[in-house]
Every structure is written in C-alpha cells, then in structure tokens.
Chain A
Amino acid sequence: MTDPARRLNRTEIARRVALDLPDGGIVNLGIGIPALCADLLPEGVELRYHAENGILGFTEMLTKSTGDPNIMEASGNFPKLVPGMAFFDSVESFNLVRGGHIDVTVLGGLQVSRAGDLANWLIPKRGIGSIGGGMDLAANAKRVIVAMEHTTRDNQPKIVNRCSFPLTAPACVDEIVTDVAVIKVTADGLVLMETAPGWSPEDVQAITEPELIVSDTVSVIRQA
C-alpha cells in the first residue's frame, strides 16, 4: 500500500530542515520558508539563532501588536525577550557572518545548480531585486541549506544544470530541501536522499534538470 503522491507544504519543508540544525550551533534563517524553522526544532535541541539586524539567541515570536519593534529579527518579526539573548550592531553582526562563525544558514532559492551555485536575489525579468545579507551568508556560512519549492509556478525545474539567473554565490549549497525531495550536493553530483510521500526517485527526476544519483538509503522525507 503506497501513499497517494503529494507535495509537502511550507511548514513541512521547514520541519524537515529543522532536523538538520545543529544542537549547540549558531543558525541564521532567511526570509520565507526558512524563517518557519524557528519554532520547529526537535525536542532537546538547543541552538542560537542569529539575525543580520543584530540579535543572537531568539526563540519564539510575539505578534506585531504585542511585540517590541526594538527587538526585531531580520524577517521583520518581533521575538520575545529571553534570557541569554544579545544585541549588537551591524559591524558585529557581519563579523559573525563573514568571519565564518555561522554554522548553518537556511536560505530560499530561485535556482540551484548541479554544482551548488545559488541564485536567489534577482528575477531578470523584474530587473531589480534585494541582496540583503544573502550573499554574505551564502559565501561564508559553514553550511548552506536551501529550502524552496522544487519547481516554479509553471512547473519548470528550479534545480538546474546551470543557473540562468544572476548568482548569490557559486558552489555554496550543501543541501536542498524541497516539497518533494531532500538532495545533497556532492563532488560527484546531486544525491537524492529522501522523497515526498508517494513520490518515486523517477518522479523527482522528471522535474529536476541535472541527473540525480539515488542514494542506497533513499527514504520518505523525515519530519522533526
């Protein structure tokens, strides 16, 4: 009896990413699906979230009507003041990033290439985009996880042989978590580790441009 094929929703993508966040580490979450990870850590995991605007050690978010605008994270939400939290200016914040002190960053993606190139800041047709801290994080975090939908709205692959969009950083991505697959970027190519319920490796390959190497241990996407 196999499950009916379905795609993970955004929270489920975040729930999968949360499994790979390091106990005791420093983690930066980008805007969008990545930001959802904050509330989804597995039981017993303790880490420090960093945000570019100068905050380390936040956990839960207050609402925009009860939170304090002077305690913000980089997605523009207002975290609760908790013991152990630290505030600092942008110089210090990017010492942490550029200095290689961020263990994992989770970023959104427009395209990821076979070589782990990431494009996530500019859609050429629009002609204007926002880089924010994304280039610094992609180039300098110890590990980069991209969390995104597997295909565009018109069902084109976002995992491609070569990015046609301008890059955020070349050869920076370590892992891709999508609504249908978990893929590791390796020197040999992209390795398919997990698939969504009801999805075969062939189903994933059909909407992925580069050839996937199917792991011997391929399984259904796990959830925190």
Chain B
Amino acid sequence: MNLSTLGVGIAAGLGLGSAYGLIAASFNLIVASTGFFIFALESVVSLGGILTYVFAVDWNLPMIPTAILVCICGLAVGALLDFVAHRPFEGRTTNVSLYVLLATVGLSIAIDAGLSLLFGDTPRLVPGYVSASPLVIDGVAVNPSYLVMIGAVITITAVSEIVFRRTDTGRNLRATQLDSEGVSLLGLNVGRITTGVFAVSGGLAALAGFLLTPVTSAAPTTGAALVIPAFAALAIGGFGSFRGAIGGSLAVGLVVGVVPLYLSSSYVNLILLAAIGITLLIRPQGLFGSTSAREL
C-alpha cells in the first residue's frame, strides 16, 4: 500500500464526505428546527437523481433548468411529507416524533419500491453538470463534481448557521424545536413554519440527488445507501448542529474512503453502525455537539 493509494482513498473520502454532508444537512435542518427525523428524505434524494435523468435525458433540458426543476419538485415533495406524515399526528399521539419517524420509514420503503417498479433497478447514466475528466491534484485524480458538492455543502452550512443564529426566522425555528406550543402562543404560525422547513429540507435532499448523479448515476437505491453514513455523520457531529454535521460527514467520508483500501468494503457499514452506537452510548450529544439529545 503506497502513499498515493492512500491519497486516492483520502480524496475519495473527502468527496464522499461532501455528499454525506449534503444529505446530513437536509436531515439536520428538520432536526434542528422541529426535532423530527424524516427518514423519507433518503427517498427524496433518490427521486432527485431520477428526476435529473428524466429532465436532462428524456426532456433534453440543459443542466441549470434541470437543477432548478429538481429543487422545485423537492420542495413540493418536502411540503407533501409534512401534510402526509407529520400533521396527522399532531395532537393525536403523545409521542409525535416517533410516529413521524415510523410513518416516514414506511413511506420511504413504499416510495423506494414504487420508484424501482416505475424506473427499474439498474442505475442510468446522467450527463455530468461539470466536465467528466478528472482534475489531477498532486498526482491524485479528483472527480470535479466533488468540488461542486464541497462548495454546496459549505454554502448550505454557512447559510443555515447564519439563518439559525442571526435572523428572526432562525430564532423562531429554534424556539419551535424547544417549545412549539409556546411559540404558537406567541402568535407565530407553527404549522406554516414547519411546512416551510419540510419543504426546504425536501429541496435540499433533491438538490443532493441532483449533485450526486455524476457519482452514483440515477437509481432508486441511491438514497438508501447514503442514509447510514449521513445519520452517522449527524450522530458524531451532534444532532441539530450544522458545523458538527460537516465535521461528522468528513470523518465518515474518510472511513468510507479509506477502509476499503485495507478491508472488505462490507466492513464499512458495520463500522459506521458501531460508531453510531458507541457515540450515542457515550456522548448522546455527539462528539462535536454541546447540547444534549434531549432524553426527557
């Protein structure tokens, strides 16, 4: 094992880390503002990839309009998730977030099955939104689309941090997560805030699906394969922390990039699962997080 192989592994890991970061960011947005974990967002990622194929290949649209259309569809699906898998539970069960999780797990499984019935299981190649020829940096080939993803992750994280810490909207969102009843007593429309957050998360997930197409192609299984690393990134980084999610994503990306160089790639998910379990057991608030995952 020479050094440049390791370099390839690290480069791939950082690239994958940025992909996980994109998905972790869409999960995180909802966690940070409502406390829900919307499992079905992984299906929105797959959907984003498939829509990219439909718009770019079937309809022959250029890349920028494709990206915009995919995001709009993601926004709509996100808002729909709020109406289907969240609102029906408000006020009807004592543990809304658990029911939201279970309902979105069920939905996610159904959407994935539906997509593979409609689209087929074979991944379909989508023309890249950047040149397909790899950039060579210091002897290591780097897929240029990873650079776009890294840029996107950093932008999304920076914007989320600013929105959550500096603006009224962000303060309302954080307050909603802590005490949605109190916020609604202050006269804010919690329902509308929540729908908005679901929609934006859906849009981000679909955008992630679009950005991932050069790496994963369009397939109904794309999201399902990414949900474990993304969740691991959140657990390590601390649920609800945007900066933590980036750190977690890069750490997970490095594991996924480097481990297959030394061990069978089947170890990757097991290692991640163990990492999630151990992190949650020892530091439920995540390695980088400071606020604890609330138990009560």
| Chain A bound to chain B | no
* Residues of B that sit less than 8 Å from A by CB: none
* Residues of A that sit less than 8 Å from B by CB: none
